[in-house]
Chains A and B, each alone.
Chain A
């Protein structure tokens, strides 16, 4: 791609980039995923559930690899494995969050299972590589449609349960005393997270999921005291990183995931150490 010259006119550059269909798909899927990851990521940070997000992502690897093995799109395998394990984590509840060793063992097993599926498929690691680190430039138009439909569902459910989930995350004991159904809310949250993780894996991969699902929200809560503002900022950061990453990777022959994670990380460092109120 490096043979295409870069001009100072960014709009012109974008015009050039979007003439390639794979870049169109990448921008479409990347935009949708950034919005969803920014929103759900805020709840992840608020609930201290980043380990759960990581767990679901790793478990999803086995699902994605299994899907490749049986010849369907990896996103279906991801959705199947993450939703089942998400409900499992929600139902087992508080006990699970203090069981790092047990969860860690399950994660390692899932990754192992995933690599077995991959080797059964071709014996070669290209598929594994793209699931682990993301391959947004290889996204198909049907993947974009699936991502859009799934994201619309996440948005609708999040908007519906927004206040109960926020309150239950912030002040669980009082929410329970007020008669709110904590188990149900926990399951709904883990389902939202599972589905969000599944589509985000397409962009940044299983191992880099934090870059979109956690770091933008972690930056946002340092910049504002209001949940709605924080969600907005989190979405904007995820969007900025995804768009910039795609843009830069068109001219520089390194992986998109690298650029996205770097941009997010630099922003995080800046807000954490330079920006002080």
Chain B
């Protein structure tokens, strides 16, 4: 209900989590993409889709304040992005934990809570509580004492999601959390992210190659390709016309009976993954 309310109330700036206007960004002196215009409201589930090297992670770096735009404006929670914003939880791309690393999961989550604090402390109750709360939010309390080195890909991604949730952020940035998972685990994780988005009224950006496992939950899609950005609801963006404009070459969006889509002709093929 809240999300629908926020959407109808779209003129009210305070409900906007992210607003981008004529945004352009460069990496090492080269323009990555430009002309991005979009806004994302509180509690929306947003997929960031596009071929490798299109600049999806660069968008996250902008939101995290790790990089500045080349031109245009971007506002996060109605202010320019700033580094170390506690309202943002982040899961980096290809986020693996070293195999030799025998540290148990709960220790990582406790550090996610207090890792930026100086001084020595043996244990604090609030730290422990924050760690366990986020672990139970992803339904993984049974993993608390399991070493990270012996976790499966699916377990690790749940723990990373819990790590991002420590401190109850208002926005999640998930960079390719699905890339190393099989179809069943992808479905489980997407369902879990959706549950977190809805139950906590959190905004989530999720970078993925294949939009199909996400499509039924999505409020918005940000499609990055060919140095340009198309954003809007899935219905608006995932059309032959819109993607043909984006790629500047003939692109067709095909749908099967269950709503799965295949993009043909853009140089990348969804559904291949």
**Is the CB of A180 closer than 8 A to any CB of chain B?**
yes
**Is the CB of B62 closer than 8 A to any CB of chain A?**
no
Which A residues touch B163, using CB under 8 A?
171, 174
Q: Would you call the interface of chain A mostly helix, strand, loop, or mixed?
A: helix
Which A residues touch B92, using CB under 8 A?
173-174, 177
- Closest residue on chain B to residue A162 by CB atoms: B120
Which A residues touch B104, using CB under 8 A?
225-226
Q: CA separation between A87 and B154, bound complex, in Å?
A: 39
Once A167-B112, A177-B88, A227-B103 are accepted as A-B contacts, the answer to whether A48 and B118 lie under 8 Å apart by CB is no
Q: CA separation between A46 and B107, bound complex, in Å?
A: 14
Chain B 91-117, CB-CB to A under 8 Å as 1, else 0, gives 110010110111110011001101111
Which B residues touch A173, using CB under 8 A?
90, 92, 95
Which A residues touch B88, using CB under 8 A?
177
**Is the CB of B119 closer than 8 A to any CB of chain A?**
yes
**Is the CB of B249 closer than 8 A to any CB of chain A?**
no
**Is the CB of A123 closer than 8 A to any CB of chain B?**
no
**Is the CB of B227 closer than 8 A to any CB of chain A?**
no
- Closest residue on chain A to residue B65 by CB atoms: A179
**Is the CB of B183 closer than 8 A to any CB of chain A?**
no
A160, A174, A179 interface centre (most CB from chain B within 10 Å): A174
Q: CA separation between A159 and B122, bound complex, in Å?
A: 11
B118/A170 in contact, CB under 8 A:
no
B118/A178 in contact, CB under 8 A:
no
Once A164-B115, A174-B90 are accepted as A-B contacts, the answer to whether A179 and B83 lie under 8 Å apart by CB is yes
Q: Would you call the interface of chain B mostly helix, strand, loop, or mixed?
A: loop
Which B residues touch A224, using CB under 8 A?
102
Once A177-B90, A222-B102, A226-B104 are accepted as A-B contacts, the answer to whether A167 and B119 lie under 8 Å apart by CB is no
**Is the CB of B84 closer than 8 A to any CB of chain A?**
yes
Which B residues touch A163, using CB under 8 A?
111, 114-121
Kindly provide the distance from the CB of B264 to the nearest chain A CB, expressed in whole angstroms: 35
B111/A166 in contact, CB under 8 A:
yes
- Closest residue on chain A to residue B120 by CB atoms: A159
Which A residues touch B100, using CB under 8 A?
45, 221
A174/B118 in contact, CB under 8 A:
no
B119/A159 in contact, CB under 8 A:
yes
Once A166-B115, A177-B66 are accepted as A-B contacts, the answer to whether A226 and B107 lie under 8 Å apart by CB is yes
**Is the CB of B147 closer than 8 A to any CB of chain A?**
yes
Kindly provide the distance from the CB of A159 to the nearest chain B CB, expressed in whole angstroms: 4
Which A residues touch B117, using CB under 8 A?
163-164
B-contacting residues, A119-161, CB 8 Å: 159-161
B120/A160 in contact, CB under 8 A:
yes
- Closest residue on chain A to residue B86 by CB atoms: A178
**Is the CB of A175 closer than 8 A to any CB of chain B?**
yes
Q: CA separation between A159 and B91, bound complex, in Å?
A: 28
Which A residues touch B107, using CB under 8 A?
225-227
A171/B83 in contact, CB under 8 A:
no
Which A residues touch B108, using CB under 8 A?
170-171
Which A residues touch B116, using CB under 8 A?
163-164, 167, 175, 178-180
Which B residues touch A168, using CB under 8 A?
115
- Closest residue on chain A to residue B93 by CB atoms: A173
Q: CA separation between A48 and B101, bound complex, in Å?
A: 10
Q: CA separation between A177 and B112, bound complex, in Å?
A: 11
A221/B102 in contact, CB under 8 A:
yes
- Closest residue on chain A to residue B94 by CB atoms: A173
- Closest residue on chain A to residue B111 by CB atoms: A167
B66/A170 in contact, CB under 8 A:
no
A228/B101 in contact, CB under 8 A:
no
Q: CA separation between A82 and B114, bound complex, in Å?
A: 31
Kindly provide the distance from the CB of B68 to the nearest chain A CB, expressed in whole angstroms: 15
A48/B102 in contact, CB under 8 A:
no
**Is the CB of B243 closer than 8 A to any CB of chain A?**
no
Q: CA separation between A264 and B30, bound complex, in Å?
A: 52
Kindly provide the distance from the CB of A181 to the nearest chain B CB, expressed in whole angstroms: 10
Which A residues touch B66, using CB under 8 A?
176-177
- Listed A/B pairs (7) with beta-carbon separation below 8 Å: A159-B120, A164-B116, A170-B111, A178-B116, A179-B116, A224-B102, A226-B104
14 more A-B contacts (CB under 8 A) besides A45-B100, A48-B98, A163-B117? Answer: A162-B119, A163-B120, A171-B112, A173-B90, A174-B90, A177-B88, A178-B84, A180-B116, A224-B102, A225-B102, A225-B107, A226-B103, A226-B104, A228-B122
- Chain B interface (Cβ within 8 Å of chain A)? 64, 66, 83-86, 88, 90-92, 95, 97-98, 100-104, 107-108, 111-112, 114-122, 145, 147, 163-164
8 shortest interchain CB distances as A-B pairs? A179-B84, A167-B115, A173-B92, A225-B104, A159-B120, A167-B111, A177-B90, A179-B83
